[in-house]
């Protein structure tokens, strides 16, 4: 997995983040970056927004890399450090799956 | 969506489980007649040949079988409008004589199967902000029929799952409703003695066996675009409540 692909994954997640927030008229930070929280902390999302994000990111990854992944699985749901914590941690997890 | 006059399901993508026989096959033909595109999912092969019918073979209890079907539908049609979780099994036995293996199988196919299909389908429906999920319960739930403790429990679980799932996905324009058929002459009750079926029918306000068209009528109601304000509901056939 090249840096180029990680950049692409970040792009997919950031676009999805804005899409989900926009659809629900949720104000989101001007500077969305790797540290932006998806889950808990200062995340603007509730659990169903996160579900929507996960589904759209899976779709984005499938369309971009032609690889079908399932982000909500036994592994990710049981990890003490959730990969859904922030845009960066989710990108790291996806890079790991695709590598 | 381009609904055409007299063709309620024109261009709608419908996924039905258990399409090789009984109610599932009947509903498949009904949706095809109404111009829908139907994807069937069943353990066995289908003899149905139709230009708008796509058959997928697999097991609803196995997520490894379920996920690829939904991915295929996503790639082919980009959306899914209606899911009908028809696949199910029954076994009539007094609880004391019910083998654990059969009890587990009933719960796996009836409940886990509905969960797997609903979860994966809702993911596809969410993006379009539209979806109709229709699950199957049974009058065995409100009638508390002796010998159907496990079957009725699995169907009661489907009802509760449907009511909660309906709340979870409501904001995405997805409705989740349940039909509870009365006994209908299908393989599901083929091994039940005739007098037992008759006794059961006699206890229903509308004392006759159900027919496929009775199921179709309620499915049409839940599946209709106009039913966007109906979710988390259970409708039993035969006047049972």
Q: What is the pLDDT of residues B92-149, one digit of tens each?
A: 889 999 999 999 999 999 999 999 999 999 999 998 999 999 999 999 999 999 999 9
Task: With a threshold of 0.85, tell me whether the complex ipTM lies above it.
Answer: no
φ/ψ region of B46 (left if φ > 0, alpha if ψ in -120 to 50, else beta) reads beta
The mean-pLDDT minimum among A31-45, B43-57, B104-118, B133-147 falls in: A31-45
Is A55 within 8 Å of B172 when comparing Cβ atoms?
no
Give A55's contacts in chain B (Cβ within 8 Å).
Answer: 123, 126-127
Residue A3: pLDDT over 80: no
pLDDT of residue A80: 73
Q: Rounded to a whole number, what is the distance in Å from the CA of B80 to chain A's nearest CA?
A: 14
How high does pLDDT run on average in chain A?
89
Name, of A25-39, A65-79, B5-19, B97-111, the range with top average pLDDT.
Answer: B97-111
pLDDT tier at A57, thresholds 50, 70, 90 = very high
Is A52 within 8 Å of B67 when comparing Cβ atoms?
no
Is A68 within 8 Å of B71 when comparing Cβ atoms?
yes
A74 touches chain B (CB under 8 A): no
Q: Which candidate from A51, A56, A70 shows the least CB-CB separation from B127?
A: A56
**Residue closest to B41 by CA, chosen among B17, B12, B7, B64:** B17
Residue B5: pLDDT over 60: no
Question: Mean pLDDT, to the nearest integer, of B147-165?
Answer: 97
Token readout for B156 is 């009661």
Place of tokens 């997520």: B63
Question: Mean pLDDT, to the nearest integer, of B156-179?
Answer: 97
pLDDT of residue B128: 92
Order of strands across the sheet with B53-57? Answer: B53-57, B37-42, B13-17, B82-85, B131-136, B174-180, B234-236
A64 touches chain B (CB under 8 A): no
Token readout for B194 is 């005739």
B102 vs B190: CA distance, rounded Å: 17
Q: Which of B151, B172, B229, B236 is catalytic?
A: B151
B171 touches chain A (CB under 8 A): yes
pLDDT tier at B8, thresholds 50, 70, 90 = confident
Is B123 within 8 Å of A55 when comparing Cβ atoms?
yes
- Residue of higher predicted confidence among B4 and B230: B230
In b/e form, how buried is each residue of A54-79, taking b as 16+ CB within 10 angstroms?
A: bbbbbbbbeeebeeeebbeeeebeee
A55 touches chain B (CB under 8 A): yes
Is B171 within 8 Å of A59 when comparing Cβ atoms?
no
B176 vs B69: CA distance, rounded Å: 20
Residue A37: pLDDT over 50: yes
Residue A45: pLDDT over 80: yes
How high does pLDDT run on average in chain B?
94
Entry pTM: 0.90
Residue B151 among the catalytic residues: yes
């Amino acid at each position: 997995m090249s840096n180029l692909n990680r950049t692409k994954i970040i792009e997919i997640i950031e676009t999805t983040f804005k899409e989900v927030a926009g659809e629900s008229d949720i104000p989101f930070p001007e500077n969305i970056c790797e540290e932006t929280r998806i889950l808990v902390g200062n995340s603007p999302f509730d659990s169903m927004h996160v579900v929507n994000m996960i589904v759209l990111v899976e779709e984005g990854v499938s369309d971009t890399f032609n690889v079908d992944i399932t982000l909500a699985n036994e592994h990710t749901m049981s990890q003490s450090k959730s990969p859904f914590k922030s845009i960066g941690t989710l990108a790291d997890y996806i890079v790991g799956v695709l590598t | 969506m381009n609904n055409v006059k007299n063709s309620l399901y024109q261009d709608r993508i419908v996924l039905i489980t258990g399409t090789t026989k009984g109610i599932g096959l009947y509903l498949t033909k009904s949706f095809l007649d109404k111009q829908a595109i139907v994807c069937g999912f069943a353990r066995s092969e289908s003899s149905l040949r139709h230009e708008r019918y796509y058959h997928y073979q697999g097991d609803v209890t196995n997520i490894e079988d379920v996920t690829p079907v939904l991915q295929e539908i996503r790639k082919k049609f980009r959306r899914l409008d209606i899911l009908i979780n028809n696949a199910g099994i029954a076994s009539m036995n007094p609880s004391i004589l019910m083998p654990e293996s059969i009890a587990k199988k009933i719960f796996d196919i009836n409940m886990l199967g509905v969960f797997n299909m609903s979860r994966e389908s809702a993911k596809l429906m969410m993006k379009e902000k539209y979806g109709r999920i229709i699950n199957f319960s049974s009058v065995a739930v409100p009638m508390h029929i002796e010998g159907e403790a496990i079957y009725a429990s699995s169907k009661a679980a489907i009802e509760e799952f449907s009511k909660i799932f309906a709340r979870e996905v409501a904001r995405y324009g997805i409705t989740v409703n349940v039909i509870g058929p009365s006994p209908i002459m299908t393989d599901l009750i083929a091994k039940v003695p005739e007098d037992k079926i008759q006794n059961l029918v006699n206890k229903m306000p509308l004392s006759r066996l159900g027919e496929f068209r009775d199921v179709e009528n309620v499915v049409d109601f839940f599946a209709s675009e106009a039913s966007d304000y109906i979710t988390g509901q259970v409708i039993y056939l035969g006047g049972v409540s």
